[in-house]
Structure 1
Amino acid sequence: KLELIKILRMDYQWAMMGYSIHNQYWRNGYGVESVKAALPLFFSSLDFHRIELHIRVDNEPSMRLAKRAGFSFECKREAFSLENGKWMDFLIYYKNKEMNI
């Protein structure tokens, strides 16, 4: 089971993409394949200029997915999201429409 779980239209024509892959299917390349397949939808059909991935600092598989899908590291956002009463740091990866050509 693979889900693209978030498509948010933000100001300035950018979106945040989220995904979830059942652990039974990890390490088979399905995440990279699915994210790459979704990019034309974001950039052409929905006309976004920029796509961001917000990845928890402890999620190394998702960081590898981002790099393999052609996203670039932008920054670390400290205490970015409150999860179970604890502030978590996130890494921001991005891809612009021009990078996808």
Structure 2
Amino acid sequence: MIEIRPVKIQDANELLDLDIRNRTLFETYSAADRKNADYQLYNYRKNIDKQLQDMKNDDGYHYVIVQIEENKIIGTIDLFAVVRHNIQSCMMGYALDQAYNGKGITTYAAKEVIKIAFNELGFHRVEAGVQPTNIGSVKVLEKAGMIREGLNRANVRINGEWKDHYLYAIVNENF
């Protein structure tokens, strides 16, 4: 069973461990340009402090994916790039421990966070970008009800190389 909950400062150790275990996978698809020195507990606490401030300021919303039986953080899912006023949109991004891939966990988490975005946070639109080669993530977005709207060519630099991304979105029809 899986739980989605807001990140807490006490999660820093587990998030550091998660990222170290999955460093190769995460750095393949993430725009975060990390160096060895970034993988320190101090930096994770500082990042969580910023995430907590983001949530207070309506600048972003940051959640962890918890495997309840093991009481273990196995992933993260975030709403970021918040735009309010006449737009009311945000981007969604996620990362899951490779050991748990292929079990529907990320799809479940995406559906839950989309519900939160629409029902609790008042967003009209949630977007996500995914590299065309990341077939698992493409499936997650489609199973979560998102629609592919186009291709953003060379729009994100990952490991020094510009990568194409499909743009997916879902609109709150009740907004």
1:48 is aligned to 2:123: yes
Aligned pairs for 1:21-36 (under 5 A) are 21-36=96-111
The 1-side partners of 2:110 and 2:152 are apart by 22
Match of 2:20 in 1: none
Aligned pairs for 1:1-101 (under 5 A) are 1-11=74-84, 12-98=87-173
Counterpart residue type for residue 43 of structure 1: F
- TM-score, length-normalised on structure 2? 0.54
Moved over 6 A (4+): none
What displacement does 1:62 show? Answer: 0.3
User: How much is the aligned-residue C-alpha RMSD, in angstroms?
Assistant: 1.6
Alignment identity in percent? 27
Answer 1 or 2: higher relative contact order, Cα 8 Å, separation at least 6. Answer: 1
3-state DSSP class of the match of 1:78?
A: strand
The 2-side partners of 1:93 and 1:29 are apart by 19
- TM-score, length-normalised on structure 1? 0.91
Question: Which stretch of structure 1 is more off in the superposition, 22-31 or 10-19?
Answer: 10-19
Deviations 1:50-69 (CA, angstroms, capped at 9, x unpaired): 00011012111000011111
Structure 2 spans left out of the alignment, 5+ residues: 1-73
Higher share in strand? 1
The 2-side partners of 1:66 and 1:22 are apart by 17
